[in-house]
Structure 1
Amino acid sequence: MPPTLPGRLGDSNLSPKTDPRTHARIVEILGPFGACDLPPPVPKMDINDPKSYAEWMVQSEAGLKLVYNSPKSLSVELPPVESSSVTIKGRKGNDIALHIQRPKGVSGPLPAVTYIHGGGMVINEAMLDPHVDWAKAIAASGAISIIVDFRNALPLDPSTSFPAGLHDSVDAILYLHSQRKELGISKLIAQGESGGANLTIAAALSLKQEGKTDVLDGFYALVPYISGAYGKSDEWKLKHLPSLVECDGYMLANDGMAYMARAYEPTGTAEENPLAWPWWATEEDLKGLPPAVINVAELDPLRDEGLDFSRKLRRAGVNVEANIKVGLMHGTEILARDVLETEHLAAARDIVRFANAL
């Protein structure tokens, strides 16, 4: 009997709840709340008119906020951290808030890790509970952690669409580079998850294009959302990025991501621009980038774009590590930190390990 294809490639009705690969604790704890079911269909909207689905995105963000800010706590007490904030000016005169966490009472230079949050570059607030807890976990592991409050594309204004969030991310990194001595920074690492991983990688590409290759010492991308190919045909996906079909609806659905991608870049003219969608970068684009880590989740529709990108980095001569988090879904080590405490803390420590090894 031939082996069954994984996920929805072998059974279109499969869900995280019924997929035997899903981490048992995710199913046990989150399953009863519907988090392991396939989502309801996304309403059909005119993808060429982002304003027509702005309200859908607002409602999606409100629902996510309820989940994100539901009470969650770790069973262990982390080492104490000190918190502060600074507001800098972006290149367009806009304010960019940087929220800084650092180990309490620790002197001497430390690696600094920018945290660029997820949300498809369109939604989610920088200071949601999971984002703050993630930054604190990184700081408690021995680094200065900086949450970058970049401009989301929502409310779909030209001043907030691509490349606004990218510019804010780059400007924050440039500021931190200029303050290495004052802030006691030994190494500067850009880090983000999902849409934040897109901005992390795009920032590294942008700095290279600007000839500022000495700014970043490395970058670390978790579950990167980098292809923008979510509205393409299943035939294209199966040929190039089969996990988009295999895991469609496992926390993320292609239909919804296609709308979010267009909301980020409403003109539709940057679909293969690597600064908007780094998966499309050529090996020449990638040559000379600093060392990188690309971590993906086994049960994530975005898995293959992260893995494929890591291979492209390696072919370009970039020192890159790539890891698959077996049994996990998209970003669950950050969002479901109480359920996956071991994975949550291990992921934070690994970022600091990477920074210290550079």
Structure 2
Amino acid sequence: MSDFGKEFWTKLGMSDPFASDAMIARVRDGMGKAPELIEATPPAILDTHDLDIPGPAGPLKARLYRPEHAHETGPLCVFFHGGGYVFGDLDSHDRVCRRLCAIANVRVLAIAYRLAPENPFPAAYDDCLAAFDWAVGQGAARIGADTTRVAVAGDSAGGGLAAAVAQARRGQLRFQLLIYPLLQLAEVRKDKLKAFEGHFVSAKSLNWIRDNYAGSTETARDPRVSPLFCTDLAGLPPAYIAVAEYDPLKDEGAAYADMLSAAGVRAELHFAKALPHGYFNFTRMLPVAKKLADKAADALGRALAD
């Protein structure tokens, strides 16, 4: 494991999260405590509200963030957290969502979807799609969403979920912010990966994620798991795709940007030099990460501006 990776997990009081299934509960608990240790304090926002919203298997926890000087209605970004479909919740990505809300000046609705291995595919996808439909449908008035100005966003596995929701609901949203997205789980062997091993995502961890979420390579080829396998990208909203140099997922992010462009979709690829997967969560440990996170949030705000 890299020195940076060791420092991160040491701060959380644990070892490699993919060492064994027994670590799942400890990592989930640790991630809820991580933000104050590794993330810079985000700019002020007006307020937050925790909600229960309808889901396909029961209520889903969600959190609404409203920017300062929010009007009765305004643009909305539906956010899906990362964590390999196994980890993450509303608290682990609270500061990321606050930063997006403040810098972009948009409402952010964060969704706590069901996690694997207790709830394998298609649970997370179904929850995220249902949450999006609620936010732009019967829930729009409750959260003050201007349904003509809607985006999806997510990091890592959440970025893959955001891309999949955008594919399913093209025409209903204006923008997609994909933060080092996990876009496919069918082919997890990586050439020349040794230099990147230990920076939070490796061939070992991708195999572990696939086994816990998708269950098989055949299932992993479903575009709802692996949006990179979607054969029709026409009509998708413009995309901002952030990738990191020390991240084995960067090639898929770049490939998706190329595929979108070939389909006539405006796609911006932003390459973070010398940064690892997960850098949006490391704004205290890596000050340059804060600048790049703010840059992405600003793009989100401009995309949803009136």
Shorter-normalised TM range = 0.7 to 0.9
- Which residue of 1 is the match for residue 21 of structure 2? 54
Q: Is the 8 A contact 2:182 2:249 kept in 1?
A: yes
Helix, strand or coil: the match of 2:220? coil
The alpha-carbon deviation at position 107 of structure 1 amounts to 1.7
Runs (5+) with no aligned partner, structure 1: 1-14, 18-29, 44-52, 208-212
1:277 correspondence with 2:217? no
The alpha-carbon deviation at position 97 of structure 1 amounts to 1.9
CA shift in 2, pair 1:72/1:217, >3 Å: closer
- Which residue of 1 is the match for residue 183 of structure 2? 226
Matched pairs, number: 296
Separation (CA, whole Å) in 2 of partners of 1:334 and 1:347: 13
- Which residue of 2 is the match for residue 174 of structure 1? 133
Which of 301, 315, 321 is 2:262 aligned to? 315
Helix, strand or coil: the match of 2:276? coil
Separation (CA, whole Å) in 1 of partners of 2:102 and 2:18: 39
Q: Is the 8 A contact 2:17 2:27 kept in 1?
A: no
Helix, strand or coil: the match of 1:286? coil
Q: Is the 8 A contact 1:222 1:295 kept in 2?
A: yes
Q: Which amino acid aligns with 1:218?
A: F
Which of 80, 83, 96 is 1:116 aligned to? 80
Q: Which amino acid aligns with 1:33?
A: E
Which of 156, 164, 173 is 1:216 aligned to? 173
Aligned-residue sequence identity (percent) comes to: 23
Q: Is the 8 A contact 2:32 2:91 kept in 1?
A: no
CA shift in 2, pair 1:164/1:61, >3 Å: same
The alpha-carbon deviation at position 109 of structure 1 amounts to 3.9
1:106 correspondence with 2:80? no
Helix, strand or coil: the match of 1:356? coil
Separation (CA, whole Å) in 1 of partners of 2:102 and 2:234: 33
- Which residue of 2 is the match for residue 80 of structure 1? 45
- Bigger shift: residues 105-114 or 138-147: 105-114
- Which residue of 1 is the match for residue 89 of structure 2? 125
The alpha-carbon deviation at position 111 of structure 1 amounts to 1.7
Q: Which amino acid aligns with 1:334?
A: N
Deviations 1:205-229 (A, max 9, x none): 233xxxxx33222211000112214
Helix, strand or coil: the match of 2:259? helix
Q: Which amino acid aligns with 2:200?
A: M
Helix, strand or coil: the match of 2:197? coil
Q: CA RMSD in A?
A: 2.8
1:148 correspondence with 2:123? no
Q: Is the 8 A contact 1:245 1:301 kept in 2?
A: no
Helix, strand or coil: the match of 2:274? coil
Deviations 1:223-282 (A, max 9, x none): 0112214643xxxx33xxx6x455232232211221111100124431211111112222
The alpha-carbon deviation at position 117 of structure 1 amounts to 0.4
The alpha-carbon deviation at position 344 of structure 1 amounts to 3.3
Q: Which amino acid aligns with 2:167?
A: L
Q: Is the 8 A contact 1:223 1:296 kept in 2?
A: yes
- Which residue of 2 is the match for residue 4 of structure 1? none
- Which residue of 1 is the match for residue 152 of structure 2? 190
Helix, strand or coil: the match of 1:328? strand
Separation (CA, whole Å) in 2 of partners of 1:195 and 1:86: 22
CA shift in 2, pair 1:32/1:206, >3 Å: closer
Give the TM-score normalised by structure 1: 0.73
- Which residue of 1 is the match for residue 7 of structure 2? 33
Helix, strand or coil: the match of 1:112? strand
CA shift in 2, pair 1:181/1:325, >3 Å: same
Q: Is the 8 A contact 2:78 2:109 kept in 1?
A: yes
Deviations 1:108-146 (A, max 9, x none): 542211111000112222222xx1111111221211011
- Which residue of 1 is the match for residue 283 of structure 2? 336
CA shift in 2, pair 1:344/1:35, >3 Å: farther
The alpha-carbon deviation at position 54 of structure 1 amounts to 3.1
- Bigger shift: residues 183-192 or 304-313: 183-192
1:327 correspondence with 2:259? no
- Which residue of 2 is the match for residue 201 of structure 1? 163
Q: Which amino acid aligns with 2:243?
A: V
Separation (CA, whole Å) in 1 of partners of 2:108 and 2:18: 36
CA shift in 2, pair 1:111/1:266, >3 Å: same
Q: Is the 8 A contact 1:114 1:148 kept in 2?
A: yes
Separation (CA, whole Å) in 2 of partners of 1:73 and 1:303: 25
Q: Is the 8 A contact 1:35 1:251 kept in 2?
A: no
Separation (CA, whole Å) in 2 of partners of 1:72 and 1:248: 23
Which of 285, 300, 305 is 2:247 aligned to? 300
